[in-house]
Copies of this chain bind each other. A is one copy, B any other.
Amino acid sequence: MLYQVKDLAKLCKVPPDTVRHYTRIGLLKPERDPENGYFQYHISDSRRLEFIKKAKSLGFSLKEIEHILTESRKGKSPCPMVREIISQRIQENRVHLEQLMELQLRMEHALASWEKMPDGAPNGEHICHLIESAGNS
């Protein structure tokens, strides 16, 4: 049983371009159909792709996933690395979340403070008085 790009994509519910992307960067390694040069995927590729999806949903990067897959194929346990990566990712994401929440506050405050301000034509002094006034009150 061999699958074309669109078949594997449909099977795993990802866009075909994602299958192509993973193939291009070596996360999937299909053979080629000698007749037309198309990629040929096996059922094992769908298990691999499902693993990639799961790992991605846990915040692993594609490069990290490739590393996990490589170690695993070499018979080494990727588990310690996996624990380490996710611990760090949790920290990083906490920082990222804080930054985005601050951004959200800045944007909301700005929009609110602009509520009663007129639209101004630009002049030599100001480019956009709304933006330039933000956060100064």
Interface of A toward B, CB cutoff 8 Å: 48, 51, 54-55, 57-60, 68-69, 72-73, 75-80, 82-83, 86-87, 89-90, 93-94, 96-97, 100-101, 103-104, 106-108, 110-111, 114, 119-122, 127-132, 134-135
Bound together, the chains give a CA A96 to CA B97 distance in angstroms of 10
Task: State how many copies of this chain the complex holds.
Answer: 2
CB A25 to nearest CB in B, in angstroms, measures 18
13 contacts between A and B (CB under 8 A): A51-B131, A54-B135, A55-B128, A57-B103, A58-B106, A59-B107, A68-B131, A72-B127, A77-B122, A79-B128, A80-B119, A83-B130, A90-B104
Task: Tell me if B119 and A77 are in contact (CB < 8 A).
Answer: yes
CA of A134 to CA of B55, assembled, Å: 9
